[in-house]
Amino acid sequence: MARIIHLHVGMPKCATTTVQDVLAENADWLAEHGVAYERHADDWTEGEGNAAVLGSHLLHNQQAKARRLLNFFLRGDGDVILSSEVLIACARARHFQWFVDEVAKRGFRLHVIVYLRRQDIWIESDFKQHVKSQNLWTGTLDDLIESRIERRTLDYHWVMRNWARFVGRENVSVVPLNRGQDPLYPARRFFELLEVPPPPDERVSTEPRNVSPPAGLIEAARFVKRAALREGLDAEAATFRVTQFIEDALRKGVVPTRRYLLDADTRRELLSRYERSNARLAREFLDGTPPFDPFEEEAEAEPGMSLTEEAADLLATLANGALRDPDAADAPQQVRRPLWHRMTGSMIRRK
């Protein structure tokens, strides 16, 4: 009987960090039940699961490097878990077939596990991640939505069909995430899919992982990041400035009460675009069960002003407070300067 590689293909902001932390904290429990979750000693990544480096090798068709890592991961006698958000892009690469064939030669079959959130909820989390992460992204939410639509990232049925053509539909497990689910649900469901009894609840932390900043801070944080990059700061220093901005706003208690970045009409339009895709996803991968809760407008009204206006008001409030960077020893050298003196005015403009 073939052993199994459980390929946890983490969609960003879909409980990936939560599941990965539980796996790492309970690696001994998994080993006792014949499943290995290990990290290579030379893995330099942090918070990326155990297969980020392998995923990078696969995406770049670096077969020799990928084979060396596989020799490590597949050296035992039992099943194996490989987890990383990097892996989500592998189904787009034609040369991924090499990996499928390689593990088959070693006596393994692939089982792909993907967690998903409703498109309107996911895209907002994705935008927050883009703003707060160490990268050069400074585009608007509309820019990101357009990019994700163009790349078909939000067409979940299409994404899952891509995986199915490599591993077979019967080897693709889709886990929809909805509000109101138990905090332990993502980890418990993962163990169910492994057919391994879950560890006792006391061994599974319910502490939130990789928590997104409040929605009311994100557009202003994007302006902060854009200004930092235009000043010539590198991605690390710009990200540090964004982090300090968010922490200062939270400490000062000036966070706008906005709950969503998208208005109700835009969210409804986005879900309408993918209604057919979600129906096909339910039919082909979820035994006909609808994946997501229906859209319901929230009773409370959102702020009447636009994201840009709200961000301008927030930055003006902070600028009037004469906030400055802390003199933390670990702050990038370029960041130790007045923080908000150029945050208002001409910066608050649409691209």
Per-residue pLDDT of 52-106, as tens digits, reads 999 999 999 999 999 999 999 999 999 999 999 999 999 988 899 999 999 999 9
Average pLDDT over residues 276-304: 86
Report how far residue 22's alpha carbon sits from residue 118's, in angstroms, rounded to the nearest whole number. 23
Tokens coding 301: 């009204």
Buried b (16+ CB within 10 A) or exposed e, 138-153: bbebeebbeebbeeeb
Q: Does residue 12 carry a pLDDT above 90?
A: no
Torsion angle defined by CA atoms of residues 310, 314, 320 and 321, in that order, rounded to the nearest 10 degrees: 160
Comparing CA positions, the residue from 50, 48, 65, 40 lying closest to residue 7 is 50
Top-confidence residue, 350 or 183: 183
What pLDDT is recorded for position 321? Answer: 63
Is residue 261 within 8 Å of 219, Cβ to Cβ? yes
Q: Does residue 139 carry a pLDDT above 70?
A: yes
Is residue 246 within 8 Å of 217, Cβ to Cβ? yes
What pLDDT is recorded for position 350? Answer: 36
Buried b (16+ CB within 10 A) or exposed e, 74-91: beeeebbbbbbbbbbbbb
pLDDT above 70 as % of the chain = 87
pLDDT bucket at 151, cuts 50 / 70 / 90: very high
What pLDDT is recorded for position 48? Answer: 87
Average pLDDT over residues 233-240: 94
Per-residue model confidence as pLDDT tens digits over 244-265: 999 999 999 988 888 899 988 9
Is residue 7 within 8 Å of 113, Cβ to Cβ? yes
Q: Does residue 201 carry a pLDDT above 80?
A: no
What pLDDT is recorded for position 322? Answer: 40
Stated pTM of the model = 0.86
What pLDDT is recorded for position 167? Answer: 96
Per-residue model confidence as pLDDT tens digits over 304-342: 778 899 999 999 888 876 444 444 444 444 433 333 333
- The residue with tokens 């560890």 is 199
Report how far residue 21's alpha carbon sits from residue 254's, in angstroms, rounded to the nearest whole number. 32
Comparing CA positions, the residue from 177, 124, 173, 205 lying closest to residue 286 is 173
Buried b (16+ CB within 10 A) or exposed e, 35-46: bbbbbeeebeee
Top-confidence residue, 202 or 248: 248
Find all residues with CB under 8 Å of 47, minimum gap 6, and list them: 17, 20, 210
What pLDDT is recorded for position 249? Answer: 92
Average pLDDT over residues 150-168: 96
What pLDDT is recorded for position 333? Answer: 41
Which string of DSSP letters, residue by residue, matches 231-276? TT--HHHHHHHHHHHHHHHHHHT-------SS-HHHHHHHHHHTHH
pLDDT bucket at 19, cuts 50 / 70 / 90: very high
